[in-house]
Amino acid sequence: MLYDFQPQSPFLLGTAGYPSPEILQQAIEASGTEIITVSLRREGATGGAFRDLLTQLDKRILPNTAGCHSVKEAVTTAHMARELFNTRWIKLEVIGHADTLQPDPFALVEAATILCAEGFEVFPYTTEDLIIGEKLLEAGCQLLMPWGAPIGSGQGLRNPEGLRTMRAWFNDIPLIIDAGIGAPSQAAQAMEMGFDGILLNTAVAKARDPVRMAAAFQDAIRAGQQAWQAGLMEKRDMAVASTPIFGLAEFN
């Protein structure tokens, strides 16, 4: 459950950088997503036509504060998003490092505290740090969105052990991998670890065929989810025969 909404698809898709509005629309439909993210900076650059397109798609819109580097900037952007899209949802990004686009943990928690107190339903973009996660939940967030790798890098899950630890520690909190996923196999890996969803943009938008790539991600994400739900076998140090010795013919 993502606040008051239970999506059927664990795939959340961004809307930036597509070759054309038509390809964006086709990719969104091919992905099967019910939730699309949009940056207020993107909205401001393209005007009402882009907002009209998103509205016509009949998807849940998750505005984000992409590009914000301070608490004030992020909070102001969130207020604008609430007015523009008539939603309490906000994907909160407060960037602290210019090269990696890693979130500023102190500013992120401060901004989340302010926005949650004002009635926003905050989707915080964070790292796999357990302490930051605890602080965000204490601030009022009901889910966490840890990165897999830096935004747009396509590196996949750079710290799988840290993410597994986060999944185990916050076992009853929705966790969505946000950023760094570059291939369907990487998305499947995250879902096989028990994460509740994947949010990505660049891997689809910049593909040679964004529509086909969106469909590929949908298949991979669902496959990973089903594998987790079915129960993956445990890894073993030694081989274990699948056929028992008992009952085999004996040759003298």
pLDDT digits (tens, 9 = 90+) for 192-249: 999 999 999 999 999 999 999 999 999 999 999 999 999 998 888 888 877 766 666 6
**Domain boundaries along the sequence of the chain:** 11-230
Q: pLDDT tens for residues 71-81?
A: 999 999 999 99
For residues 59 and 36, give the distance between their C-alpha atoms in angstroms, rounded to a whole number: 7
Give the pLDDT of residue 133: 97
Beta carbons within 8 Å of 217's beta carbon, 6+ residues apart? 11, 31, 184, 187, 198, 200, 203, 204
Q: Is 179 annotated as a binding residue?
A: yes
SS3 63: strand
Q: Express each pLDDT in 150-165 by its tens digit.
A: 999 999 999 999 999 9
**pLDDT tier at 41 (50, 70, 90 boundaries)?**
low
- How would residue 58 be classed by pLDDT, with cut points 50, 70 and 90? confident
Q: What are phi and psi of 122, to 5 degrees?
A: -95, 130
Active site residue 59: no
Rounded to whole angstroms, the Cα distance separating 37 from 14 reads: 5
CA angle 84, 88, 93 (to 5 degrees): 85
pTM higher than the cut 0.85: yes
What value does the mean pLDDT take over residues 31-45? 79
pLDDT beyond 80 at 147: yes
pLDDT per position as a tens digit, 122-135: 999 999 999 999 99
Is 201 marked as binding a ligand?
yes
pLDDT at residue 45 is higher than 50: no
Q: Is 202 annotated as a binding residue?
A: yes
Catalytic: which of 72, 91, 135, 206? 91
Residues 227, 208 contacting (CB under 8 angstroms): no
Q: Which CATH superfamily is domain 11-230 in?
A: Aldolase class I (3.20.20.70)
